[in-house]
Amino acid sequence: MRWTPCAGQRQPKLRSATDPALPAGHAPVSTGVARGRWAQVIALCVPAGLLAGAYISELGFGLYPCQMCWWQRWPHFAAVGLAALAFVLPAARLWTLLAALSILVSGVIGGFHAGVEYGWWQGITGCAGVATGGADPLEAVINTPLIRCDRAPWAFLGVSLAGWNFLISTGAAATIVWLLTRKGR
């Protein structure tokens, strides 16, 4: 909603950086710029945080990823790169929107994976294994545990990691788009 003056009203005075009413070191910031910056921060921090959580779960707690878990990670890697570009290249809004799209793709894959884990539909992959290295490659493959895509290795509040990825990623993507497309206050 835009402000339009009524009879006898004056348009509000815009403050400048030298206005004594502003605290020292503060300059007026357009709400559109502030929302765009928040969108950039969310587009960078959410996928980076989710990737950090995935690697902590994997390396710290032994929750190795299945094939569909890896599918969820790739769009997050892309989102981190795209969001970083938004901080250094022109057309920051475009880079941020592309990062949001990438985050959304990961969320949709997470939703599909959660549905497979909960038995709502069939998955489209077999099981995956994580080779642990060693001197003998055949022994490493034989001793590699199989990671099933249709079993949730861990859940919090009844929601699997794939389900949390769905909830967090789709919520973050929607928030980014909302911040970048919102008009006025």
- pLDDT tens-place values along the chain, 185 residues long: 455 555 555 655 555 555 556 555 554 445 556 777 888 898 999 999 999 988 898 888 877 777 787 888 899 999 999 999 988 888 888 999 999 999 999 999 988 878 887 777 777 765 555 555 556 777 766 666 666 666 767 666 877 878 889 999 999 999 999 988 887 55
> Going by C-beta distance under 8 Å and a sequence separation of 6 or more, which residues neighbour residue 2?
184
What's the pLDDT at 4?
57
What are 158-177's pLDDT values in tens digits?
778 788 899 999 999 999 99
Token pair of 183 as six digits? 């008009």
Q: Is residue 7 part of a domain?
A: no
Instruction: Give the count of beta carbons closer than 10 Å to the beta carbon of residue 140.
Output: 15
Closest CA to 170 of 112, 115, 106: 106
Does the reported pTM lie above 0.75?
Answer: no
110 within 8 A of 163, measured Cβ to Cβ: yes
Q: Is residue 61 part of a domain?
A: yes
Partner residues linked to 156 by β-bridges: 159
Closest CA to 98 of 112, 85, 111: 85
Q: Is residue 177 part of a domain?
A: yes
Q: Is residue 51 part of a domain?
A: yes
Residue 136: which domain range?
A: 31-181
Q: What is the number of domains present in the chain?
A: 1
What's the pLDDT at 29?
47
What are 118-152's pLDDT values in tens digits?
777 777 765 555 555 556 777 766 666 666 666 76
- Between CA 72 and CA 126 the distance in angstroms is 16
Q: Is residue 70 part of a domain?
A: yes
The CATH number that applies at residue 116 is 1.20.1550
Q: Is residue 12 part of a domain?
A: no
Q: Is residue 17 part of a domain?
A: no
Q: Is residue 166 part of a domain?
A: yes
What's the pLDDT at 171?
93
